[in-house]
């Protein structure tokens, strides 16, 4: 391509230059790190959300209640101990239902920690190691 | 990869961007490479730089090397010069590849450019811009959002 000199013109279109790329010299290969910002770090470092601990608390409480009922039911059958009342089962079931509700709410409301984790996961699965060719310097 | 259709979220264009003496009016970009934009300069306390390099020679896919004045690779360092109100990008600690000076809130000037370490045959200073075998100086670019398409 011949040498072009464009000076002092008013340009209103995109110009094209077709010899703008270098022949390659040496290269460096790298995999870019995830650029963790301070805000994202704070999200990751934050305590569990209310909905998360409420879900696990209610769920475990429900399972505990149901297990107690079950063991008393077994005792009733085999050792004729006192009968399990219906309300005792209901307590456990309600607790589990509440846990499901709070789990659904927790899923629907913002979860910054999960978003950041997903971004990081995507970064590491999508960004391939890269070879950057650079020209040799004299 | 940032393109004309996918710009950085916090990018605010300068009304006037002087690219090595060539004045780009109305907000825009110095270069495009395929779909991608190798160099994006936006407003900020200091000029804000996004720099992308080609993944492989000949490939039009770009990878982000500097994001919002933060270098993502070890070989590039971004530094702000309070006195000159400028941003400098150094390659391998001692090769300056970009210097962008703040003129005022709406204007900035690229006063130094040497993108050879990134594989682009582009260099320039405050008087002239060299791309391949072409030279550009004191032009006014108006009505297009990209000054030069690289091939």
Helix (H) or strand (E) holding B41: strand B39-42
Q: Which own/partner pairs from B123-129 qualify as long-range (CB within 8 Å, at least 24 positions apart)?
A: B124/B19, B124/B20, B124/B21, B125/B20, B126/B20, B126/B21, B127/B20, B127/B21, B128/B20, B128/B21, B129/B19, B129/B20, B129/B21, B129/B22
B134 contact residues in A (CB cutoff 8 A): 1, 3-6, 17
Question: Could you tell me which residues come within 8 angstroms of residue B15 by beta carbon, excluding any fewer than 6 positions away?
Answer: B25, B26, B27, B106, B107
Q: How many CB atoms lie within 10 A of CB B102?
A: 19
Most confident of A63-67, A87-91, A110-114: A63-67
Mean pLDDT for all residues in chain A: 81
CA atoms of B76 and B39, how far apart (whole Å): 14
CB contact under 8 A, B150 and A12: no
List residues in chain B touching A: CB distance below 8 A.
31-32, 53-58, 63-64, 67, 70, 72-75, 95, 116-122, 131-144, 146-151
What count of Cα atoms within 13 Å lies in the side-chain half-sphere of residue B94?
A: 1
User: For the segment B114-138, what is each residue's pLDDT rounded down to a tens digit?
Assistant: 988 888 889 999 999 999 889 999 9
Place of tokens 């008087």: B127
Closest chain A CA to residue B147: A14
Task: Please list every residue in chain A whose beta carbon sits closer than 8 Å to the beta carbon of residue B57.
Answer: 21-22, 24, 133
Is the per-residue pLDDT at A25 higher than 60? Answer: no
- Of all residues in chain B, the one with the smallest CA distance to A21 is B120
Q: What is the pLDDT of residues B56-100, one digit of tens each?
A: 666 788 888 898 998 888 888 999 988 889 999 998 888 899 999
Position A32 pLDDT exceeds 70: no
Neighboring chain A residues of B132 at a CB cutoff of 8 Å: 1, 17-20
- Give me the pLDDT at residue A19, please: 82
How large a percentage of chain A has pLDDT more than 90? 19
Q: Indicate the residue of B63, B72, B119 with minimum beta-carbon distance to A33.
A: B72
The answer on pLDDT for A133 being more than 60 is no
From B63, B121, B142, residue closest to A10, measured CB to CB: B142
As a whole number of angstroms, the distance between CA A76 and CA B5 comes to 71
Q: pLDDT over 90 for what percent of chain B? A: 60
Size of interface A-B (CB pairs under 8 A): 129
Q: How far lies A19's CA from each of A2, A102, B111, B130, B133, in Å?
A: 10, 61, 22, 11, 7
* Average pLDDT of span A27-52: 78
Give the start-to-end residue ranges of the domains of chain A.
35-113
Q: Of the ranges A60-69, A75-84, A112-121, which is most confident?
A: A60-69
As a whole number, the mean pLDDT across chain B is 90
ipTM of the complex: 0.83
The verdict on A11 touching B (C-beta cutoff 8 Å) is: yes
Facing B136 at nearest CB: one of A6, A13, A19: A6
User: With 80 as the cut, is the pLDDT of residue A30 above it?
Assistant: no
What pLDDT is recorded for position A1? 45
């Amino acid at each position: 391509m011949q040498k072009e000199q464009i000076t002092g013109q008013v340009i209103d279109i995109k110009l094209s230059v077709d010899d703008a790329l270098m022949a390659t010299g040496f290269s460096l290969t790298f995999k870019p790190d995830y650029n963790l910002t301070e805000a994202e770090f704070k999200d990751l470092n934050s305590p569990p959300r209310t909905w998360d601990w409420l879900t696990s608390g209610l769920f475990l409480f429900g399972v505990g209640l149901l297990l107690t009922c079950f063991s008393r039911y077994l005792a009733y059958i085999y050792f004729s101990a006192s009968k399990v009342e219906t309300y005792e089962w209901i307590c456990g079931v309600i607790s589990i239902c509440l846990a499901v509700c709070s789990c659904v709410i927790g899923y629907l409301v913002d979860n910054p920690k999960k978003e950041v984790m997903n971004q990081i996961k995507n970064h590491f699965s999508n960004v391939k190691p890269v070879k950057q060719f650079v020209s040799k310097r004299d | 990869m940032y393109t004309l259709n996918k710009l950085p979220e916090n990018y605010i264009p300068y009304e006037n961007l002087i690219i090595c003496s060539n004045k780009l009016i109305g907000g825009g970009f110095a270069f495009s490479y395929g779909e991608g934009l190798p160099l994006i300069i936006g407003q900020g306390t200091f000029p804000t730089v996004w720099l992308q390099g080609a993944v492989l020679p000949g490939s039009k896919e770009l990878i982000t090397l500097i994001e919002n004045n933060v270098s993502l690779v070890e070989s590039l360092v971004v530094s702000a010069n309070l006195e000159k109100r400028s941003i400098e990008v150094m390659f391998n600690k001692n090769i300056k590849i970009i210097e962008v000076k703040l003129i005022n809130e709406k204007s900035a000037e690229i006063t130094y450019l040497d993108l050879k370490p990134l594989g682009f045959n582009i260099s320039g200073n405050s008087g002239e811009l060299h791309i391949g075998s072409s030279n550009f100086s004191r032009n006014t670019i108006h009505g297009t959002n990209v000054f030069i398409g690289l091939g």
